[in-house]
Structure 1
Amino acid sequence: MAPSCEVVLPTLERIPIEQRFSADDRELLTLAQILVKSDIASVEDWERSGRDAAKYLSLTLQRWIREHGGVAIDRRFDLDLTLSDRLVDYSDERGPEGTLYLIVDPDGAAFVLMKPVLELLETVHPRLPATFFRHLVGSLNRWVRVYDYDDAEERVDMLREWYEGEENPEQYEVPDIEGCTPKCLKEKPLTLRGLKELSQTIRDREVQALVRGLLQLCRVSSQAKRPEFTDDMGEQLMDSNPPLPCLLLPSPQGTP
């Protein structure tokens, strides 16, 4: 009878299931230190990340977003958040040494039909629709691109320039942005101070809520300082198209 043979397989319990190559983690480690000192990063996230700097920052950012309205933002907008050493992911050009960029990039655009709101605001004050629209767009445009009537007009002007080089430019039809723009938006907007004074006299609850929300948006938008757009950033984006809009404010007639 042949002797029994036992084969013992080695245990894989302590073998890492993932390997990651990194040429230089200095920027990530520096950012992690800043977030820890600022009480943004959590020690628990460090353990969950397996002591990996990139995963640690990813977990930290995900948690921070959840705690600052991430669910509501995700419900209304289709956005990607990227932490990178370059502004264009396919570029070989990195930013200056020690620089990381936190990039918010939309995969699609949310949209708001403004006509019902403008008509409601006009019943309270003739200049309120233009005031509301301009401060809304201005506050959002500080941080994300908003496509409105001005953008549509620029687009149409560009199309006209293209068509002028054709043999029969009259065969092309372009939208009438001027005709699509509501007349109430051509009024002179009130200043932010004027809007605050007007808000004290508004009795309609719906309009009160709209104006109160707008004033809060203006306040939040101006709380933080926008990063300076440097020459180096301009060079990185030189061959790129304009950023996708995060929000569309179309007219009832459907401007481009």
Structure 2
Amino acid sequence: MLTRNVNYELSIQDSIGSYGDENLREGVLLLSVDCSGCGYLKIGPALAALEKEEEGLGAAFYHLLRLSLYRWLRLYDHTDAEAYNENLREWAEQEDEQAREEYEIADVGGALPAFLRGEDKRQAKDYRALIRRHRRGPQRAWIESLLRIAALTRVPSRSPRELIDAYWDDIPLPALLICFHDQDAIAAAFDAEARSMQEASHEPTYLQVFSPSNPAEADKAFRGFARFLAINLELFTLVEALNQA
């Protein structure tokens, strides 16, 4: 399932840094998962089908999926595309008028379905309550899968920030691109940004440091990794189903 959808690499080593060139303290290992190729989710048709069941259901599904996954994985969604566009506008303002015309800024707002435009003041608990009402509806398989993801990600992944801040320049590479339709503005922004994503040293998607001689530390590291795998297996099972909608 994972190799069909995303490129992850697991390593357990006694060194750290972008090139593994600095040893950790004696008796300690680093367990990490790096992402070098993200998954792809075209969610627009699935959300439209959910909105037909009840107004607001598609929006609740989208937001709960994003909020849940962000606790464990780096995503690329419409908010990232909007941030990229904002950077383009700032860069364009510093150019002369002729050079500004060379900047292509995709219409991210126009790519969003109408029911996702505007401010949504609901919280995760509100999304869950609405979604649970449809556990026996036509899209119950999607609903149950999302609720399992929300449960698995309830406790966030906690990587050692002191190591991350010391040895990596940037946040993890995205594990999943979420767009609404093939080649829409979100996908276009991702394609443009992806050309420079490998220029920095990115922190791992999952990271734990443990001592093999300390059973509690080792157990915590591998239980965390097991949960990471469970989240991803549930996620990409759902992704494959939604991409067929």
Q: Distance in 2 between matches of 1:203 and 1:216?
A: 12
2:139 aligns with 207
1:221 aligns with 2:221: no
Root mean square deviation of aligned Cα: 2.6
Greater relative CO (CA pairs within 8 A, separation 6+): 2
Q: Distance in 2 between matches of 1:215 and 1:247?
A: 18
1:77 aligns with 2:9: no
Counterpart selection for 2:53 from 124, 128, 150 = 124
1:246 aligns with 175
Per-residue CA distance 1:124-177 (angstroms, 9 max, x = gap): 222222211121122222222110001111111222222222223531221121
1:39 aligns with none
Per-residue CA distance 1:182-203 (angstroms, 9 max, x = gap): 2212362754443444345437
State the Cα distance separating 1:81 from its structure 2 match: 1.0
1:170 aligns with 2:82: no
State the Cα distance separating 1:251 from its structure 2 match: 2.9
One-letter amino acid matched to 1:232: L
Cα distance change, pair 248–200 in 1 and its aligned pair in 2 (3 A): closer
1:74 partner SS: helix
Seq. identity, %: 30
| Greater fraction of residues in strand | 2
Q: Distance in 2 between matches of 1:196 and 1:173?
A: 38
1:237 aligns with 2:168: yes
1:9 aligns with none
Number of residue pairs the alignment of both structures matches: 182
1:140 aligns with 2:69: yes
Does structure 2 conserve the Cα–Cα contact (< 8 Å) formed by 1:95 and 1:232?
A: no
Q: How does 1:1-256 map to 2 (within 5 A)?
A: 72-90=1-19, 92-95=21-24, 98-168=27-97, 169-171=99-101, 172-186=103-117, 188=120, 190-199=122-131, 201-202=133-134, 205-223=137-155, 225-238=156-169, 241-252=170-181, 253-255=184-186, 256=189
TM-score (norm 2): 0.64
One-letter amino acid matched to 1:174: I
Cα distance change, pair 88–125 in 1 and its aligned pair in 2 (3 A): farther
State the Cα distance separating 1:233 from its structure 2 match: 1.9
Q: Distance in 1 between matches of 2:109 and 2:115?
A: 12
Per-residue CA distance 1:76-108 (angstroms, 9 max, x = gap): 222111223445341534445554322211221
1:55 aligns with none
- Contiguous gaps of at least 5 residues in structure 2: 190-245
State the Cα distance separating 1:109 from its structure 2 match: 1.3
Does structure 1 conserve the Cα–Cα contact (< 8 Å) formed by 2:76 and 2:176?
A: yes
